[in-house]
Amino acid sequence: MTLIYTDAKLLLGGYDLSADHNELGLDYSADMLDVTKFGDDTRIRTGGLDEATLNGSGFWNGGTGNADDALFGLTGATKQPLVVFANGITEGTETDKGYAFEAVVESYNIGNAVGEMLTFTLTAQSAGTG
């Protein structure tokens, strides 16, 4: 299946931040724990704790209730529900998957060169599932 990335949705802590983003990425991984024993001739590993990291970027949008207000206030705050859909929210679909977890906003950076659109980057780290 080919997915054209045109209508991603990002919901974070009660805010819909979709319209401010033009790039999103979700990295999902697990710690690889070494369980190698005497006599093994290769490293033996097993999956440990899961981790998810969301990276995004977009165009700065200031003002009460907008992306800047939300992201500035959520950076380093308590964990918040984070939901991301790659291609919109389609009720009943089995192909347009979404991902949800609790996250803490690790960083929110604003800036660009003079004469350029003001942009931001966002990183949020997983902090549980329920």
Domains in the chain (CATH in brackets) are 9-29+44-126 (2.40.30)
- CA gyration radius, the chain: 18
Query: What digits encode the pLDDT tens for the residues 18-60?
Result: 989 999 988 999 999 999 999 999 999 999 999 999 999 999 9
Of 4 and 28, the one with more pLDDT: 28
Q: What number is the average pLDDT over the span 113-119? A: 93
Rounded mean pLDDT of the chain? Answer: 87
Confidence of residue 69 (pLDDT cuts 50, 70, 90): confident
Q: Which residues of 96-126 are buried (b: 16+ CB within 10 A; e: fewer)?
A: beeeebbbbbeebeeeeeeeeeebbebbbbb
Residues 6+ apart with CB under 8 A from 33: 45, 46, 47, 48
Would you state the pLDDT for residue 103? 94
Would you state the pLDDT for residue 86? 81
Confidence of residue 7 (pLDDT cuts 50, 70, 90): confident
Residue 70's identity, in one-letter code, is A
Q: Which of 102, 107, 7, 99 is nearest to 57 (CA)?
A: 107
Would you state the pLDDT for residue 121? 94
Would you state the pLDDT for residue 130? 53
Of 64 and 8, the one with more pLDDT: 8
Helix (H) / strand (E) element for 6: namely: none
Whether residue 65 has pLDDT greater than 90: no
- As a whole number of angstroms, the distance between CA 58 and CA 70 comes to 14
